[in-house]
Amino acid sequence: MLQIIEEVLAGALQIVVPRTVVAQVWRSGPRQAGVARLIKAGRPDHGPVIIDELTAARAEQIGITIGRVKHPDIVDVHVALAARERRHTVFTSADADIARVDADLEIVHV
């Protein structure tokens, strides 16, 4: 995972980080150095790290999707929606959960 972070920060890869993921993983302190670097590099619509914000419209999309797929985790659904829209691969330790939301996504377990 550290190699992926380095490639992103060097501009070799582009990733999307949903704001709900930040809320779920953020614990502060020195162990968060990699996450903090990604967040600081983040922009809403361009650059190597795109932050997919939890806007009112996105919240509605998440709620509708939760109702449709019957998967209650807003973070999983937010990740799946952001990846689907951009045709991105999902790198996650929650691969089974993301697949429950959208089985057609390309998912890599990390």
Q: State the Cα–Cα distance between residues 71 and 73, nearest whole angstrom.
A: 6
Please give the average per-residue pLDDT across 39-54, as a whole number.
81
Q: Which of 12, 65, 19 is nearest to 4 (CA)?
A: 12
Structural domains of the chain, ranges and CATH numbers in brackets: 1-109 (3.40.50)
pLDDT in tens, 2-40: 788 888 888 888 889 999 998 888 887 777 777 777 777
Among the listed residues 27, 17, 18, the one whose alpha carbon sits nearest the alpha carbon of residue 74: 18
Gap between the Cα atoms of 54 and 106, Å rounded: 23
pTM of the entire predicted model:
0.86
Q: What is the pLDDT of residue 44?
A: 66
